[in-house]
Amino acid sequence: MSNTKENQLWDLLKEQSAYKEAIALTHWDMRTKIPKKGVEQRSEVVGFLAEKLHQLETSDKLKELLDELKDTVTDDVMKRTIEESLETYERSRKIPNDEFKEYVMLQSKSESIWQEAREKADFSLFQPYLEKLVDYNKKFANYWGYKENIYDALLHNYEPGVTTKTLDDVFPKLRKSLTDLLDKINSSNVEPDPSALKASFPKSQQEAFSVEILKRMGYDFEAGRLDDTIHPFAISLNPNDVRITTRYDEEDFRMAVFGTIHEGGHALYEQNIDKKLTNTPLATGTSMGIHESQSLFWENFLGRNETFWQSHYELFKKYAPEHFESVDVDTFYKAVNEVKPSFIRIEADELTYPLHIMIRYELEKALINDEIQVKDLPHLWNEKMVEYLGIEPPSDREGVLQDIHWAGGDFGYFPSYALGYMYAAQFKGVMDKEMNINQIIQSGNYDSIRNWLTENIHQYGKMKRPLEIIEDVTKEQLNPDYLVDYLTEKYSGIYKF
């Protein structure tokens, strides 16, 4: 009897997995290839699929099977699958089905309107959609419930175990350390030469170089592909179809090259999840913070590493314009690591990047707590940019409209970027004790790095919770000191302070 019940549960989970894959493929198409006139109809399709998935995740039959099996199964994967499914059931059940469908359709339409608003640098086009998205998120947060801050209910969707209280303790300390470093850099007489990077770099050549690096990282092109889009992302349809996108700028190769390495880090996580978790809710990253730790590890700790460019500069020049033949590798390395506040988050240097995240966190937390209104976002955004980074965006395109996250209703997501950066530094601290990372980078064969990440993080998917992974791997809780120490050592070397 028990075996029959388990088989019934697996069948239901497989059905859920099929809908998730269809929804993911639809989202990928809408963000990359769909013609403008197709958005309205496709949004309805997404709404239909999402409604069906929601019904499956909250069905009486599913709950009955979960309740019958939760105390009797002995298999670890099944146990954790039941735990995860029960949590999804309880949270999803609290949202009325019609509201959920309306929200999913709103998300799809909002992303399309956001693209138009961004192109026209006109926040007013997007404002009514964002207001509805914020209202839905506040409503859902109240359905789910919370202990101290309503924002915690949304944060839980992306980083279970982390609360607003944790962020409000860690972020100010990190901000102080970063601004102190920024002051030292601004006072330094040493300055990298950004003009060394100024050269028109054809998109096709940037793509060819990026593909070479992805292959060295271990990204499996037989289980994925690389496309271009407005806002880069990685998306997993299943472990054998994990796609990445990037954005090209022929006048600044850094966006595509570092963006591709970043998304490649996400993809490696999804491609290396244990195959025994396929078709379960565990076959994905355990949290967005852990996911970002993987992308930022590859992008920053490897891709912006001095040894990386010393060992890959000849390969780079094979695809790069002739201009770079006259630029030595030391000048190049320092130029790609220049610290200079920028308007665009995904173009930010390593040091100022977390400040971009703190701006977004503070604004969306205030929105959800009814402390500010959507209509006030453009000027509040610009004020915080001036306060934190000393620059004011020339238009909303470079300001409040630059990210897709709010258009997708992803409130509670942004903190995971800064958390991931801190997690990545902690992971690197452990790796440094077990292997010579620079020596591995110099060899051009990253198998041992990727294998370490797979053994300690990737393979588990959601079998382990995020804080469990942090403590199992690093033997301590979240500690921002690793990131501060890394940035201090790196930039004191570049800027000689």
Question: Residues 263, 270, 299, 347: which is the catalytic one?
Answer: 263
- CA atoms of 297 and 473, how far apart (whole Å): 15
Is 263 among the catalytic positions? yes
Q: Tell whether 325 is in a known binding site.
A: no
Q: Tell whether 291 is in a known binding site.
A: no
- CA atoms of 397 and 401, how far apart (whole Å): 5
Contact between 244 and 262 under an 8 Å Cβ cutoff? The reply is: no
Vertex 285: Cα angle to 118 and 418 (nearest 5):
55
- CA atoms of 82 and 5, how far apart (whole Å): 12
2-32 and 76-93 helices, crossing angle to 10°: 60
SS3 234: strand
- CA atoms of 61 and 481, how far apart (whole Å): 48
Burial profile 229-255: b = 16 or more Cβ within 10 angstroms, e = fewer: bebbbbbbbbbebbbbbbebeeebbbb
CA 159 to centroid of chain Cα atoms: 12
Q: Residue 216 has which token pair?
A: 């060295």
> Which residue, chain included where needed, has tokens 């924002």?
151
Contact between 113 and 100 under an 8 Å Cβ cutoff? The reply is: no
SS3 246: strand
Q: Tell whether 379 is in a known binding site.
A: no
Helix count (H) and strand count (E) of the chain?
20, 3
Beta 226-228 vs 234-238: how paired, if at all? Answer: unpaired
Contact between 305 and 262 under an 8 Å Cβ cutoff? The reply is: no
- CA atoms of 420 and 295, how far apart (whole Å): 9
- CA atoms of 82 and 69, how far apart (whole Å): 8
Burial profile 174-196: b = 16 or more Cβ within 10 angstroms, e = fewer: beebbeebbeebeeeeeebeeeb
- CA atoms of 14 and 283, how far apart (whole Å): 12
Residue of 23, 28, 81 whose CA lies nearest to 52: 23
| Residues belonging to the active site | 263
Binding-site members for Zn(2+) are 262, 266, 292
